[in-house]
Chain A
Amino acid sequence: MAVPKKTKKLLNKTSPTSASSFKTKTTSFFAVEKGLNEDIIREISAQKSEPKWMLEFRLKSYQIFLKKPMPLWGADLSGIDFDNIHYYVRPQDKVKRNWEDVPTEIKDTFEKLGIPEAERKFLAGSGAQFESEMVYHSLAENLTKQGVIFESTDDALKHHPELFKKYFGTIIPPADNKFAALNSAAWSGGSFIYIPKGVHIELPLQAYFRINSENMGQFERTLIIADEGSSVHYVEGCTAPTYSSDSLHSAVVEIIVKKGARVQYTTIQNWSSNVYNLVTKRAAAYANAQMYWLDCNLGSKVTMKYPSIILCEPGARGEIQSLAFAGHGQHQDAGGKVVHLASNTSSTIISKSISKKGGRSTYRGLVKVVPGAKNVKTRVICDALMLDKDSSSDTYPVMDIREQDVSIAHEATVAKIGEEELFYLMSRGLSEEQAATLIVNGFASPIVKQLPMEYAVELNRLLTLEMTGSVG
């Protein structure tokens, strides 16, 4: 493949260190200049050898992105400099099926993060995205035989054009919001999953997203279609090393849960504190289908993310559970949305947030019931825990109920970590930090225990890391 003259090679001169804060020195296969314009979009599309309709979709989305104002609500996004971002960095030529084929320095990154080991131990399939592209994707052979598709979204566009076109952009159109438009214009990577009728995938599928270089924009696009009576649990993890200037992660995730199917989508994100994380996630659930978002947000500079569920047909059920940890200089603006379009639908939103050292957590939620949707049940619980007087928490629970025959429950608590509680634990010999960590882990445990064991251990470890040095 000829390298166009507008490209340049990226070199990170930093050396690897411990934990997820390490940076890997890599040589990119291909990268575009900073900033976004029609030429760059054409170049990304050409690099991917896309069909014409996708290029047109991208260009149309770019125009929408330019016209849409920045959101006037939510977190402070004034620090984003759209011209100082690399919109496309390709680390290697194409997606590999074997870890051995992934370039050494990228493979090392994922090995440090424990990804290949996790795949061997407890996954039905796994994918890994480095910068803009999936570098690795694999699926257990028996699932391939049953017709399950688990590929990078770019590959799926090539391999399954009809299935792709039928669903892509139908749940989250480019005009949904400015960042959905940006993703639609610049999207690259992400997972495409199709589960045929009646197929149940017992073990989770996992994808890991890694931003490695500075001023990176990662715009992965995930599309999951669970056909009638099927089920899947998809887990995504995210990390990035810390740089002095900001990166942008703006994903779009669309999920179609057909009649009687079940999808669980679990996120454990641990972005570094220089990442703007602005993600649009939405699922449509049909008759008697179940959609379950489990969203754990640690790290990032700003997160704005409200996983949504449209309950389209009778008997559909939706659940959103989220956990947010806002440390110093961080704003976690998270929550969930459920729209009840049909009768006999039910939903639960449980949100827990922890703020420390001036961190700010916001719960922003919407429950909507349209006229004629009868016998709807919904329950919203949001709990906030603040570790000190500098931290803050706000709650915006919107209920838009246009029907009488509805059962609604809403509970909210805001608590500051208690002196008496700390004293009690410390009187048994625990340090203040140990005591506070125990209280935080206990507060988070109703969410954590929903996770498969391996992820629960990882999340507890991350929470403990967040609490290190948080006292005194």
Chain B
Amino acid sequence: MTNKTSLQIKNLRVAIGNTKILNGVSLQVNSGEIHIIMGQNGSGKSTLLSVLMGHPKYEVTDGSVTINKKNLLKMSVPERAQAGIFLGFQHPQTVSGVTFGNFLRLARNSVATAHNPKFVPIGPAPFAVLMRTEMAKLKLDSTFISRFVNEGFSGGEKKKAEILQMALLEPAVAFLDEIDSGLDIDALKIVATELVEIQKKQGMALVIVSHNPKILDFINPDKIHIMSKGKIVAQGGKEIVVQIEQGGYDALIKG
């Protein structure tokens, strides 16, 4: 996707029943930018991502989200994917009996057809070639194509599989939820390096949610946002992480 995309979140408030989870989040991300959202467990990071993807269990009580001035909140889940939103899941679902290759090809055809009704759906053989190229970069072996979606995948394989999907679906704005959790340092390096490369090549906006500053050893974000209690409480550059490392989140939130 080469067109410039801008996603704007304004004063987003979200609840499940009577429990308020997001209390006025505002954020703007543009093509080519890398953002990192950090915060403690329960601060609302994952909820924010699920809401943007359209998970049915959340209720948006106030605020707006637009993608290139179009109302994202009115779109169905697949429409959001077709509009260029991607969510890399912290805990991807297993789908038994469905091969990764078949699933991803259907997804790619669906997204591509939405952009261009004349798009000729790509067949299994040429798609396998595309997949293998990306898989090699992520150091995933070629049996991956015929394995069932996330079934029996190790923690690292699941994360890599999410990145693989992102690479092949070419979203405009990709959100990655805890993409670094459960990865050893070698796997983290592979994933982060590949992530930056895809981002550079495709020019997407990348929003990475993490609570581990280690990711900053490999990725150089344009902006870091700190979330607490359903709000973004601080924004800045890498210096913000130094504060966290010295005084923990509490110091930053109070400060």
Using an 8 Å CB-CB cutoff, how does the interface string of A227-261 with B read, 1 for contact, 0 for none?
A: 00000000000000000000000000000000000
Complex partner residue of B93 from A418, A431, A444, A445, CB under 8 angstroms: A418
| Residue B253, interface by CB 8 Å | no
A441 touches B107 (CB 8 A): no
- Cross-chain contact A429 with B110 (CB below 8 angstroms): yes
Q: Considering residues B81, B82, B106, which has the most beta carbons from chain A within 10 angstroms of its beta carbon?
A: B106
Contacts of B56 in A (CB 8 A): 419, 423
Q: Is the CB of A424 within 8 A of B92?
A: yes
Q: How far in angstroms is the closest Cβ of chain B from A289?
A: 31
Closest 3 CB pairs of A and B: A442-B97, A445-B97, A428-B107
CB A471 to nearest CB in B, in angstroms, measures 12
Residue B210 lies at the interface, judged by CB distance under 8 Å to chain A: no
Contacts of B148 in A (CB 8 A): 442
Indicate if the CB atoms of B93 and A429 lie closer than 8 Å. no
- For A428, the closest partner residue in chain B by CB is B107
User: What chain A residues lie within 8 Å of B104 (beta carbons)?
Assistant: 428
A425 touches B (CB below 8 Å): yes
Chain B 212-253 per-residue mask, 1 if CB under 8 angstroms from chain A, else 0: 000000000000000000000000000000000000000000
Distance, CA A366 to CA B169, complexed state (A): 49
Chain A residues within an 8 Å CB radius of B81: 426-429
* Interface residue B78 (Cβ < 8 Å from any Cβ of A): yes
- B127 interfacial by beta-carbon distance below 8 Å: no
In chain B, residues 56-108, which have Cβ atoms closer than 8 Å to a Cβ of chain A?
Answer: 56-57, 76-78, 80-82, 86-87, 89, 92-93, 95-98, 103-104, 106-107
A interface, size bucket: 20 to 34
Chain A residues, Cβ within 8 Å of B55: 423
What are some 13 contacts across the A-B interface (CB < 8 A)? A419-B57, A421-B95, A424-B92, A425-B95, A427-B53, A428-B103, A428-B165, A430-B110, A434-B110, A441-B98, A442-B97, A442-B148, A446-B97
Cα distance A444–B96 in the bound complex, in angstroms: 10
Residues of B within 8 A of A (CB): 53-57, 76-78, 80-82, 86-87, 89, 92-93, 95-98, 103-104, 106-107, 110-111, 114, 148, 165, 169
Dominant secondary structure of chain A at its interface with chain B: helix
Is the beta-carbon distance between B95 and A429 smaller than 8 angstroms?
Answer: no
Q: Tell me the complex Cα distance, A428–B77, Å.
A: 8
| Contact status A443-B169, CB under 8 Å | no
| Contact call A427/B87, Cβ cutoff below 8 A | yes
Decide: A429 and B97 in contact? CB cutoff 8 A: no
User: Chain B CB within 10 Å — which of A419, A428, A434 has the most?
Assistant: A428
A-B contact sample (15 more), CB < 8 A, given A419-B57, A421-B95, A427-B89: A423-B77, A424-B92, A425-B103, A426-B81, A427-B80, A427-B81, A428-B103, A428-B165, A428-B169, A429-B82, A430-B107, A434-B110, A441-B98, A442-B97, A442-B98
In the complex, which residues of chain B have a beta carbon less than 8 angstroms from the beta carbon of A441? 97-98
- The reply to whether A421 and B103 form a contact with Cβ atoms under 8 Å apart is no
Q: Hey, which chain A residues are within 8 Å of B169, CB to CB?
A: 428-429
Q: A420 on the interface (CB 8 Å rule)? A: yes
Q: Which of A426, A434, A443 is the one whose CB lies under 8 Å from B97?
A: A443
Closest Cβ neighbor of A439 among chain B residues? B95
- For residue A401, CB closer than 8 A to chain B, the reply is no
Q: Smallest CB-CB separation from B89: which chain A residue? A: A424
- Residues of chain A from 399 to 440 with CB closer than 8 A to chain B in the complex: 418-421, 423-432, 434, 438-439
